[in-house]
Amino acid sequence: MVKRIFELFGLATMAVGLYFVIREQGKNTACNALEGKFEGMSASCQHVVYAYFGGFVLLAAGAMVVIFGLLATRKANKNRLTDKNPSLASQYHWVDPKTGRSPQS
């Protein structure tokens, strides 16, 4: 349950990051066209760049949370399907190890 909550948290983080990237892309393009190559950046353009970069950071962090959540879910499912913890019902079905059949047959 907690893994699923983290996966949803990661998806929400990715959505917020994508929102910032899409919202700030036009402003970032305008700032890139107006600013000189080797000069300082104006305060308004710095704000746009910080928000744009923050969107990419949120997008990457959300993707990492989702990937780690999916890997943890996969590992948990794999551990659940192994036979290292047999159920109580399997103890009543005895099989001869040499023949692989039950003694009744």
Asked if the structure places residue 70 within a domain, the reply is yes
- 83 occurs within a structural domain: no
Task: Let me know if residue 67 belongs to a domain.
Answer: yes
> Domain range holding 72?
2-78
Measured CA to CA, the distance from residue 45 to residue 31 in angstroms comes to 6
CB 66 within 8 A of CB 10: yes
Residue 43 domain flag = yes
Q: What is the pTM of this model?
A: 0.60
- Count how many domains the chain has: 1
Q: Computed from CA positions of residues 55, 22, 11, 9, in that sequence, does the dihedral angle turn out positive or negative?
A: positive
The reply to whether 51 falls in a domain is: yes
Regions of the chain short of the pLDDT cut 70: 35-40, 75-94, 103-105
Q: How remote is the C-alpha of 43 from its chain's centroid?
A: 34
What is the per-residue pLDDT for 103? 65
Predicted local confidence at residue 4, as pLDDT: 80
| The pLDDT value given to residue 31 | 79
Q: Which pLDDT score is estimated for 91?
A: 58
Q: Does any domain span residue 73?
A: yes
- Is residue 40, in this structure, part of any structural domain at all? yes
pLDDT at 82: 56
Residue 89, domain member (yes or no): no
Give residues with Cβ within 8 angstroms of 93, minimum separation 6.
102
